[in-house]
Structure 1
Amino acid sequence: MGKPLTVGIVGIGTISGQYLTTIDSLADVQLVAVSDLNAERAEAAAAERPGVVALSTEQLIARDDIDVVLNLTTPAEHVGVALAAIAAGRSVYGEKPLATNTADGRRILEAAAAGGVRVGCAPDTVLGTGIQTARKAIDDGMIGAPIAASATMVTPGHERWHPAPDFYYQPGGGPLFDMGPYYLSALITLLGPVAAVTGMASRMRSSRTIATGDRAGAVVPVDIDSHVTALLQHESGAISTLIVSFDAVGTRSANIEVHGETGTLAVPDPNFFTGDVDLLGLDESEWRTLAPSAGYVDGGRGIGLADLAATPHGMEARAGGDMAFHVLDVMESTLTAVAQRSTVEIGSTVTRPAAVPLTELARR
């Protein structure tokens, strides 16, 4: 309905390829301009798309024909780009995390509220059929009252595949801030906001060696904890355990399990949009796979923009700033709990986003 949501992308790095593929296919989202510190990358992306221009960040933000600035810069740059876009009257949608700390995250939300613009933020993977089918199963009472959940993400480290992994090992990175948003957004979507957290963390080594690209063999310092375990108490009373690690090899178990009074759900990896949801009922001897029953079908990174476009102005989008801020607050509080060896009450809360009915996205 109406004109497409027009978008300008700042940051044509590794993750941008997935966004560009999705945006190219969406009928309700139109790419107008791209920008990157490496002008050649921006020009190459623009050249492949008729009508798209490569600009400086300042020029892109200043364009009146851009509704939303899609901020795909590194975490440390998120706040600067977001505030500049908001000051120019643009809504913003950013890669996770919203910011590297809650003070900056709050600045973004307050500026957007004062300017009458909207804030969206990844991950939008929770809007796909995997997490949304699991949510519907919970909402429909298929496992009874939820009691507990576990979420696990382990990998030996991004330096094994990323050509410039430095920022993953600096404040604002690490397994918690890099991968935690996927798992925390999923847990909050399934079980509601978090009330309190405690945690422990470790760091296996003080440096990493880049394995690929032009800088292969270069050594990157590690200035964050590379393994974090958090115990989350949800406002609903359910208790979740989150393990995120750049130190381990892998896991055979379900990425997320949710345990209820009358059943357990095995939930797919929230880093992806799809995946099987398996259910074991109280009186059942075998797991059964649930048919996809909710969520955006065949989603990809960037469907949060389509959801934003479909959300009436004045309403919070599902992958919105409030959710992103609560996730950021939980992560920051986890690190505080680790440092203090204590339990930390979460200062923020969020309304559990509305469920996504089984929906086919409008495609070009």
Structure 2
Amino acid sequence: MSGGPVGVAVVGAGVISGQYLRNLTAFPDVRVLGVADLDEARAAEVAERHGVPVSGGLDAVLALPEVEIVVNLTVPAAHAAVALACLRAGKHVYGEKPLALDAEEAAKVLAMAADLGLRVGNAPDTFLGAGIQSALRALRSGLVGEPFAVRAATQNLGPESWHPSPEFFYQPGGGPLFDLGPYYLTTLTALLGPAARVSATTRRARAERVVGSGPKAGTVFPVDVPTHVEALIDFTGGAGAAATFSFDSPVDKRLIEIVGTEGALSLPDPNTFEGPLLARGLHDTDWRELPVEGTVAGRGIGVLDLARSIRAGVPHRASGELALHVLEIMTAVTASGERGEFRRVRSAPPVPEPLPPDWDPYAATLA
């Protein structure tokens, strides 16, 4: 395909697909051509709702020659297998997080893509939102000097109160670290560079949980992963972070604060695409709000950046290499919690280039 909008198919018609499809169908540089799911009736319903012409199983959308990128929104346990199937079919892949359940699986995906001359992109793309990108530009401008310390936290009582099928959040590939951690760890890597080593403590408050809404309400299910994680992360650039990831806290908290030699930044929730972005100097008594520059969009801008980058022949930002690094951080945190020791993180992906402030997802740029 040499020009024009990039053909896209979505695999996995669950809850998150609605957010992706609302945005992808509004971006003129991509065309959504198919929706696939194990439940083909659900795929047909979702496709019709969003005006997508083809639905069915995975093979049905992989057979569409106009599809160049497959957006993999399956459950975490299926991410690697579906990605490999798409690559074998000659398609670029953009997946939901995590890239795979472990680094070995993820490395196989990246190796196959490299062998076939294809690309792998991966969520989260929230770090490409106007809020975090504005924070990145502020940090690079030297506004707060040299960053040296970070405090990060995402904590709540877990998703079972609102999600109709929350069991997968408490299976391998889930938990607060693997579910919410990628937003925080991807953001920190984009701002501070790769992580070098981690240590952690992990806990599981309850062995079982209860579905709180939908047709399964009242159903008891097991918890197979840690639900409270405290991690220390050293970055190669010299900064250190203390991070909390919890599904056990009645105090709902989402924060990233970066302390530098000349001040501090308070970032937006990295699971969103907007502001506010706050700063304070060494002797300020309160935070001041900084301007957030860029068009506000939602999930799917990583797919769009991948599509535009394919056409331009330049690196895309929400890359498989970045996702592999974040996965290695999370698996190292898990191993540290089990063994009580510092764990090294071996990979060191290139830091993604910032988006220009005038990057517009709603502008047609591909002739």
Shift of 1:133: 0.8
Alignment of 1:260-339 (within 5 A): 260-293=260-293, 296-312=294-310, 315-339=314-338
Counterpart amino acid of 2:337?
V
Rounded to whole Å, the distance in 1 between the matches of 2:195 and 2:315 is 19
Q: Give SS of 1:67's match.
A: strand
**Residue identity in the other structure for 2:161:** R
Normalising by structure 1, what TM-score? 0.96
Rounded to whole Å, the distance in 1 between the matches of 2:297 and 2:141 is 23
2:61 aligned counterpart, secondary structure: helix
CA distance in 2, matches of 1:44, 1:83: 26
Q: Secondary structure at the match of 1:244?
A: strand
**Equivalents in 2 of 1:33, 1:251: separation in Å?**
37
> 1:225 aligns to what SS in structure 2?
coil
Aligned 1:153-232 pairs, distance under 5 A: 153-232=154-233
Q: Structure 2, unaligned stretches of length 5 or more?
A: none
Q: Which amino acid aligns with 1:274?
A: E
Residue 74 of structure 2 aligns to which amino acid in structure 1?
A: T
**What percentage of aligned pairs have identical amino acids?**
42
Structure 1: 5+ residue runs without aligned partners? none
Q: Is the 8 A contact 2:144 2:260 kept in 1?
A: yes
Distance 1:316 1:337 in 2: 33
| Alpha-carbon shift at residue 314 of structure 1 (Å) | 5.3
CA distance in 2, matches of 1:92, 1:266: 33
What's 2:139 paired with?
Answer: 138
Residue 276 of structure 1: how far off its partner (Å): 0.7
- Answer whether contact 2:121 2:319 (CA < 8 A) is retained: yes
- Dislocated runs of 4+, deviation >6 Å: none
Q: Secondary structure at the match of 1:211?
A: coil
Q: Aligned pair 1:233/2:243, yes or no?
A: no
Alpha-carbon contact 2:34-2:47 (below 8 Å) kept: yes
Partners of 2:268 and 2:274 within 8 A in 1: yes
Cα distance in 2 between the residues matched to 1:64 and 1:129: 34
Report how far residue 284 of structure 1 moved: 2.3
CA distance in 1, matches of 2:351, 2:37: 35
Which is further off, 313-322 or 138-147? 313-322
Structure 1 counterpart SS, 2:316: coil
For 1:49 and 1:339, how far apart are their aligned partners in 2? 44
Superposed CA deviations along residues 301-344 of structure 1, whole A, max 9, x for unmatched, are 00111111221465431101010000000000111111110001
Q: Equivalent residue of 1:123, what SS?
A: coil
**Partner amino acid, structure 2, of 1:351:** P
Give the counterpart letter for 1:246 in structure 2: F
| CA distance in 1: counterparts of 2:217 and 2:257, whole angstroms | 37
What corresponds to 2:67 in structure 1? 66
Of 222-231 and 45-54, more deviation after overlay is shown by 45-54
* 1:145-201 CA distance string (max 9 Å, x none): 001111100010111111111111111111111110000001111111100000001
**Cα distance, 1:363 vs structure 2:** 4.8
1:25 touches 1:363 (CA, 8 Å); kept in 2?
no
Residue 104 of structure 2: aligned partner: 103
Which is further off, 175-184 or 36-45? Answer: 36-45
Would the aligned equivalents of 1:149 and 1:239 in 2 still touch at CA under 8 Å?
yes
TM-score w.r.t. length of structure 2: 0.95
SS at match of 2:25: helix
Q: CA deviation at 1:8?
A: 0.7
CA distance in 1, matches of 2:20, 2:133: 21
Hey, what's the Cα distance between the residues in 2 that align with 1:37 and 1:61? 14
1:276-321 per-position Cα deviation (integer Å, ceiling 9, x unaligned) = 110011232231100013xx51110001111112214654311010
Whole-angstrom CA distance in 1 between matches of 2:252 and 2:216 = 29
Are residues 314 and 338 of structure 1, via their aligned partners in 2, closer, same or farther at CA, if it must alter by over 3 Å?
Answer: farther
Counterparts of 2:155 and 2:146 in 1: how far apart (Å)? Answer: 28
RMSD: 1.4
What secondary structure sits across from 2:180 in the alignment?
Answer: helix
Q: For 1:164 and 1:10, how far apart are their aligned partners in 2? A: 18
Aligned-partner Cα distance in 1 for 2:295–2:244: 28
Q: Which stretch of the first structure deviates more once superposed, 56-65 or 134-143?
A: 56-65
Partner residue in 2 for 1:347: 346
Tell me how far 1:50 sits from its aligned partner.
4.1
